[in-house]
Amino acid sequence: MTVPPARLFALVPCAGVGARSGALQPKQYVVIGDRPMVAHTLAALAGVERLAATLVVLSPDDDRFEALVPGFAGARGWVSRCGGATRAGSVANGLDELVRRGAHGDDWVLVHDAARCLLEPAWVTRLIEACSGDAVGGLLAQPIADTLKDERDGRVGATVERRGKWAAQTPQMFRIGLLQRALAQAGSAVTDESSAVEALGLAPRLVPGAIENFKVTYPADFALAARLLATAKD
């Protein structure tokens, strides 16, 4: 019996409110350039031909997505209002939805932050090529260049050794079954998928990302993202 090759799916948790952004709406819907931030993100993933589909996980009470991102839903664009109270909960629910739609435990899932809207298809392809033969999986990440300080009561408590330190990015790519098991064991406190997999005693592969693949989080980040998107179109 021939075993079919593993498929690749993207999963975008999009159920948060973005409390740190200062926006008056969920930050994924703030317009950057000519469209909402999440639309830029999904356009980049749509440019990765090796992805069988991208699943967007929304809050159960989200009533804005289809109007703000028209034309997304289709054969390769899936939407589910199964978001949880935390990122980990939304991802776990999204994995269950992928399985419900026919994905298998040995298929790969690439979990990507909606707020990393400067994503380039080439970076996703780099991750896929680095991890598709890996026993664990991996993530895009950026080596730390800045000097790191430990803060104590608003002052420097210590300088932290930066050698060997990487800033985690997304997508993060793991087998669906492995990630389901990892999240079930780790609980809702983990802030990325790699942390959950690491808690199983596994070591995900670090794949160099790009400095532009930052997560829009604080008010000033929106203006920076807009400038970089405008520059990319010039």
Handedness of CA 107, 86, 60, 54 (dihedral sign): negative
Residue 12 lies in a domain: yes
Q: Which residues pair with 216 in a beta bridge?
A: none
For residue 178, what are the domain limits?
8-134+170-204+213-233
Instruction: Identify whether 218 is part of a domain.
Output: yes
Classify residue 20 by its DSSP letter.
G
CATH of the domain at 21: 3.90.550.10
* In a domain? residue 68: yes
Q: Output the pLDDT for position 99.
A: 98
Within a domain: residue 154?
A: no
Contact 216, 27 (CB under 8 A): yes
pTM of the model: 0.94
- Please, where are the H alpha helices in 13-135? 37-46, 65-68, 87-100, 121-131
Q: Looking at the domain assignment, is residue 110 inside a domain?
A: yes
Domain count along the chain: 1
pLDDT along the chain (234 residues), means of 10: 82 77 75 94 97 97 95 95 95 98 98 97 98 97 95 96 95 98 94 97 98 94 93 72
Residue with token string 């317009």: 31
Domain assignment of residue 31, yes or no: yes
Asked if the structure places residue 144 within a domain, the reply is no
Instruction: Please check whether residue 140 lies inside any domain of the structure.
Output: no
